[in-house]
């Protein structure tokens, strides 16, 4: 087994070196799918390399509930508003306004929109969508804030809110995919309906092929798109490992994909455009606080003092990350507050807290009631280096750690079912509206801590989203971060620096505040349209 893995690594490295030395093609060579035609038109097919591959069937209720799954769906379905590199812009609604006296949003819809099957889009589809998601909740958008929706005419929609709600444009109007009533009205099981008709949207691309086994997607341009025919005829998502993505970019097999930080300068030298990410994604240590010993706050704090987050950045991330803040938000976030307990690496303080909890040191291990303290850490392979370092840190204070590596969707499922003790997971959205705090603390997703043990924290999380004044909201968020860091329902380990390289055929960019509700991926569909 070891020999086989070793040979595989050598083979992959050799492959990379061969392509590297050859200089291959890439943007300078103009080969493969990245070729422009003789008239200098945009590429007929644009190929995106992705290490995971399958993110679910790209319809609203069947895409996998992580950012890449939403992105794949967003090429097919539109929302009322969207974001480009300059902020909010019209989508199905060409204009909108907030009516403070009525606590309502009035949307003026486009009149030139057709569904992919040729049917006209009207306000009735928007009304239907809000009604449908109340009956069939959509995991990405909570519409409980919506009190009523009316349609004054075929191209106007008025959305009344139950109370002031600051994130409405970003997290509802800008994230909720609008559904075709004529198709979904008879669908009672949208979560399992994967017929091609389920992928009938108004978006710039139509689904041609989805292969779950191979993790591939193929889209073709929708010629009647209301913003004009997209610039690229076809988009392909192909599954390529992180190790092989650089070679795929260099030989023109792919137009865009992630590259390791160490190769950024080389890709720039080869003429690629390299996009650095912000710190809107975090890797965090999840605690099963519904069970002892993690139900005790002091135990979680003792674990935090024992883990050297700076070392994780230095070794695991090779310096290409920011150390995690126990308050969840990164230091370069406009809502960040530094007035929190930081749990700087302090194994002595960790042991003190364990002793206060009744543990004592014996035979090199912390013990209580005659039993050594043994904990299980659940990970996916991408976090193996983090797990090794955390295991070493916890062993230094006397904790035996069993690391268990599983496939990503299995880890998500176990976290959702509370079938774990500690797990390393991660999510984006930190750069979007700070409602992300509520989602990651109170909501019921596998990304969320699902922590309601502190009444003050819960109350503030619900109150801050109704604050329409930013200064008032910032004060509440500072207090939220302080309490969150004290309670430690999870511990952010680091915020990685990610780099996307592309061949410059399209103007890819990281959307300010993230795509939709805050997805930090440089695949905004508008890059393919205008």
Task: Show the tokens assigned to 467.
Answer: 């604050």
* Closest alpha carbon to 236 in 10, 439, 32, 431: 32
Contact in structure between 104 and 161 (CB atoms under 8 Å): yes
Global confidence as pTM: 0.83
> What's the pLDDT at 363?
86
Domains 45-277+499-528 and 282-496 share a fold: no
All residues at 6 or more sequence positions from 443 whose CB lies less than 8 Å from its CB, including other chains: 142, 450
| 282-496, CATH topology level | Dipeptide-binding Protein; domain 3 (3.10.105)
Report the SS3 class of residue 144: coil
In Å, what is the CA distance from 450 to each residue of 440, 472, 475, 476, 488? 7, 25, 23, 20, 12
For position 144, what pLDDT does the model report? 94
CA distance 11 to 319: 27
Distance, in Å, from the CA atom of 103 to the CA atom of 124, rounded to the nearest integer, reads: 21
pLDDT of amino acid 12: 41
Cα maximum dimension of the chain: 78
Q: What is the pLDDT of residues 271-319, one digit of tens each?
A: 999 999 989 999 999 999 999 999 999 999 999 999 999 999 999 999 9
Lookup result for tokens 């705090």:
437
pLDDT of residue 204: 98
- Residue 41 contacts residue 54 (beta carbons within 8 Å): no
Q: Return the pLDDT at 3.
A: 31
Question: Distance (Å, rounded) from C-alpha 30 to C-alpha 36?
Answer: 7
The answer to whether the CB of 174 falls within 8 A of the CB of 432 is no
Please state whether the peptide bond connecting residue 230 to the residue before it is cis, i.e. omega within 30 degrees of 0.
Answer: no
Residue-by-residue DSSP string for 59-112: STTTB-SSHHHHHHHHTT---SEEEETTEEEESSEEEEEEETTTTEEEEEE-SS
269 CB-near residues (< 8 Å, 6+ apart)? none
Residue-wise pLDDT tens digits, 452-498 = 999 999 999 999 999 889 999 999 999 999 999 999 999 999 999 99
Residues of the chain with pLDDT under 50: 1-39
From the list 245, 248, 259, the residue with the least C-alpha distance to 34 is: 248
Termini Cα distance of the chain: 50
- Cα–Cα distance, 136 to 76 (Å, whole number): 20
CATH superfamily ID and name for 45-277+499-528: Periplasmic binding protein-like II (3.40.190.10)
pLDDT, residue 41, reads: 60
Alpha carbon of 425 to those of 92, 349, 377, 458: distances in Å? 35, 26, 11, 23
- Kindly list the domain boundaries of the chain, sorted by start residue: 45-277+499-528, 282-496
Sign of CA dihedral 46, 47, 50, 56: positive
Per-residue pLDDT at 364: 87
């Amino acid at each position: 087994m070891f020999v086989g893995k070793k040979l595989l690594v050598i083979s992959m490295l050799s492959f990379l070196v061969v392509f590297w030395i050859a200089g291959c093609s890439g943007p300078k060579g103009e080969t493969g799918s990245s070729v422009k035609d003789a008239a200098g038109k945009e590429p007929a097919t644009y190929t995106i390399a992705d290490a995971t591959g399958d993110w679910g069937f790209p319809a609203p209720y069947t895409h996998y509930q992580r950012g890449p799954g939403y992105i794949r769906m967003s090429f097919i379905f539109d929302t009322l508003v969207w974001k480009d590199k300059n902020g909010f812009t019209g989508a199905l609604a060409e204009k909108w306004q907030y009516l403070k006296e009525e606590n309502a949003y009035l949307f003026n819809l486009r009149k030139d929109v057709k569904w992919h099957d040729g049917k006209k889009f009207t306000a009735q589809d928007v009304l239907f969508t809000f009604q449908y998601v109340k009956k069939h909740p959509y995991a990405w958008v909570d519409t409980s804030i919506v009190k009523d929706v009316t349609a004054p005419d075929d191209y106007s929609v008025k959305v009344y809110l139950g109370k002031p709600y600051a994130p409405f444009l970003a997290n509802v109007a800008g994230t909720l995919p609008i559904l075709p009533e004529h198709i979904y009205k008879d669908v009672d099981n949208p979560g399992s309906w994967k017929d091609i008709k389920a992928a009938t949207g108004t978006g710039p691309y139509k689904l041609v092929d989805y292969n779950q086994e191979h993790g591939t997607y193929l889209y073709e341009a929708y010629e009647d798109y209301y913003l004009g025919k997209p610039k690229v005829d076809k988009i392909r998502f192909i599954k390529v490992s992180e190790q092989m993505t650089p070679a795929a970019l260099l030989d023109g097999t792919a137009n865009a994909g992630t590259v390791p930080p160490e190769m950024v300068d080389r890709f720039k030298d080869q003429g690629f455009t390299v996009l650095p990410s912000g710190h809107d994604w975090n890797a965090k240590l999840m605690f099963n606080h519904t069970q002892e010993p993690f139900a005790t706050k002091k135990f979680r704090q003792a674990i935090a003092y024992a883990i050297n987050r700076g070392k994780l950045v230095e070794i695991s991330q090779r310096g290409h990350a920011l150390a995690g803040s126990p308050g969840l938000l990164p230091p370069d976030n406009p809502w960040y507050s530094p007035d929190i307990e930081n749990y700087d690496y302090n194994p002595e303080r960790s042991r003190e807290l364990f002793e206060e909890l009744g543990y004592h040191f014996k035979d090199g291990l912390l013990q209580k009631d005659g039993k050594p303290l043994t904990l299980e850490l659940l990970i996916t392979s991408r976090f193996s280096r983090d797990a090794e370092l955390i295991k070493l840190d916890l062993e230094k204070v006397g904790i035996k750690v069993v690391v268990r590596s599983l496939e990503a969707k299995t880890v998500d499922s176990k976290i959702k079912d509370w079938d774990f003790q500690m797990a390393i997971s991660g999510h984006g959205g930190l750069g979007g509206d700070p409602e992300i705090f509520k989602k990651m603390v109170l909501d019921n997703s596998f990304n969320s801590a699902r922590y309601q043990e502190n009444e003050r924290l819960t109350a503030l999380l619900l109150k801050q989203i109704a604050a329409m004044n930013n200064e008032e909201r910032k004060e509440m968020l500072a207090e939220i971060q302080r309490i969150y860091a004290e309670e430690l329902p999870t511990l952010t380990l680091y915020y990685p620096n990610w780099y996307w390289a592309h061949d410059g055929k399209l103007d890819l960019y990281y959307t300010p505040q993230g795509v939709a509700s805050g997805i930090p991926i440089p695949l905004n569909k508008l890059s393919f349209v205008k």
